[in-house]
Each structure stands twice: as C-alpha cells, then as structure tokens.
C-alpha cells in the first residue's frame, strides 16, 4: 500500500495523466447515448452495466452492443450535433491546469473515436493524444463493424496504451483516472490509479482504489498547494 501523501506527490509530479472518457470526462456513457439515439437503449445499457462490472470480456460486449445498435455514419454525426456530450464539472479547469504545468494529457476510451475527438477538441487536447475505438462504415454510410486491431477494443486495452506511451515518450510516471474496472486494471503499468465517482459509483472501484474522488476540484486543490 502506498500512503496517501505519496500518491499525492506522484500525482503532482506525473509526466502524463490519462483520463477515461465515458462517465469520467463526460457525464454520459457514449455507447448508451448512441443506443438511445438509435432506439435500443434498454437492451444496450444492461450490457454496458455487465461489461463495466467486468462480467463480460470487453470486445465481446462491444461487438454484441454494436450489433444491436447498428449505428450509421449519419446517426453518429447527428448524435454529436444534436446531443453533444456534457463535460463533467471541473474537468476543463483540471486539464488546463495540467497543461499549464507541461503535463501531457491523454484520453483513453473504450468508446468511439468520433465522439472522443469532439470531447478532446473542447479540452484543447490534440487528437494525437486520443486512443479510442474506430467505427467502420460502408461507402453508403451503413455500419460495417469496428476496428478490432485498436488496443482499446480488448480487455486490458487501456494498460496496453499506457505501456505504449511509456515506451514511446519515456514517461516515468503516468496517472490513470477513471470510473470503471477497465481503468483500475490499467495500473500497473500506470503508476497511480485515481478512481472517479462523480458521475456514477462502481462499487468494485470504490472498494479497491487506493485513492477515490467524487469531484475534480479535489485534484485541482492538490495542484494548487
């Protein structure tokens, strides 16, 4: 066990901070919003709940949910235009404060790149710092599956991305922040995991995270001290 003061020191001296997106950086779960928009909300949100609880392998859950939703390119674009995701209070300030300190900020999501890039642009995070799943469409815009080669399409994918970031940029300390089991599993290779329960509390994460917060103001406070 690392003491809380050591965790705080690690957070304040991190080279990079990686955020999960759904229910962490934004208030919604992107795939559930897409399902609602496409009229299959109930079936899909039950699957999301099982996947987040770690009961179903991630790729299997993603395949199953997308097969139900069958989102077209036009539906994804309309979702972003008509129901843009809502940023979690405090995230804009936290990201901007980290960037002022020359900390690299990454978004690592099991959600969809088109939605996550939209969120990244609101936070001045370059799209090269976004790791997420890519939806595939046929030339007529109909759903054609997703890119299964992306590391984020697999269980353990977030950890793979963090390992890759360490190798590529020689980061010494990486912090992972997120609400779900897949975020907690990314530490190690992340050096610190901070569980976030500001939008939804996942009991497994709350019980097992060494550092658990429900408001980003707490982390802003650490950086100000």
For residue range 85-101, what is the model confidence (pLDDT) as tens digits?
899 998 999 999 889 88
Kindly give, in sequence order, each residue whose CB lies less than 8 Å from that of residue 111, ignoring residues fewer than 6 positions away: 21, 22, 29, 30, 31, 132, 133
Catalytic residues, which ones?
A: 20, 22
Q: What integer pLDDT is reported at residue 44 of this predicted model?
A: 82
> pLDDT of 115-133, one tens digit each?
999 999 999 999 999 999 9
DSSP conformational letter for 135:
E
pLDDT above 90 for 48: no
* pLDDT above 80 (res 8): no
Average pLDDT over residues 62-83: 90
Q: What percent of the chain has pLDDT over 70?
A: 94
Q: Which CATH number describes the domain made up of 4-28+86-224?
A: 3.40.50.1000
Give the model's pLDDT for residue 52: 62
Query: Which of the given ranges, 10-24, 65-79, 146-160, has the highest pLDDT on average?
Result: 65-79
Domain ranges, ordered by start, for the chain: 4-28+86-224, 34-82
Q: Are strands 135-137 and 143-146 parallel, antiparallel or unpaired?
A: antiparallel
65 — pLDDT class (breaks 50, 70, 90):
confident
At 187 the three-state DSSP class reads coil
Please report the pLDDT score of residue 225 as a whole number: 61
Task: Quote the pLDDT of residue 53.
Answer: 63
> Token digits for 64?
């199953």
Confidence of residue 51 (pLDDT cuts 50, 70, 90): low
Is the model's pTM score more than 0.75?
Answer: yes
pLDDT for the residue numbered 151: 87
Mean pLDDT of the chain: 86
Which architecture characterizes domain 34-82 according to CATH?
Answer: Orthogonal Bundle (1.10)
192 with 14: CB under 8 angstroms? Answer: yes
Return the exposure string of 19-46: e unless at least 16 CB atoms fall within 10 Å of the residue's CB, then b: bbbbbbbbbbbbbbbbbbbbebeeebbe
């Amino acid at each position: 066990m690392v003491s809380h003061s050591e965790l705080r020191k690690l957070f304040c001296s991190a080279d990079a901070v990686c955020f999960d997106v759904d229910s962490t950086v934004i208030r919604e779960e992107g795939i559930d919003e897409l399902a609602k928009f496409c009229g299959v909300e109930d079936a899909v949100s039950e699957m999301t709940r099982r996947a987040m609880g770690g009961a179903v392998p991630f790729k299997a859950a993603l395949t199953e949910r997308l097969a139900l939703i069958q989102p077209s390119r036009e539906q994804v674009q309309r979702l972003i235009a008509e129901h843009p995701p809502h940023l979690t209070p405090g995230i804009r300030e936290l990201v901007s404060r980290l960037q002022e300190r020359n900390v690299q900020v990454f978004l690592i999501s099991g959600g969809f790149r088109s939605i996550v890039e939209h969120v990244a642009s609101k936070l001045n995070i370059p799209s090269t710092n976004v790791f997420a799943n890519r939806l595939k469409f046929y030339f007529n815009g109909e759903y054609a599956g997703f890119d299964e080669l992306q590391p984020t399409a697999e269980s353990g994918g977030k950890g793979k991305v963090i390992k890759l970031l360490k190798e590529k940029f020689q980061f010494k300390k990486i912090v992972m922040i997120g609400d779900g089991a897949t975020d907690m599993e990314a530490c190690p290779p992340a050096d610190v995991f901070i569980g976030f329960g500001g939008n939804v509390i996942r009991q497994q994460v709350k019980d097992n995270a060494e550092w658990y917060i429900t408001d980003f103001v707490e982390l802003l406070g650490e950086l100000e001290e």
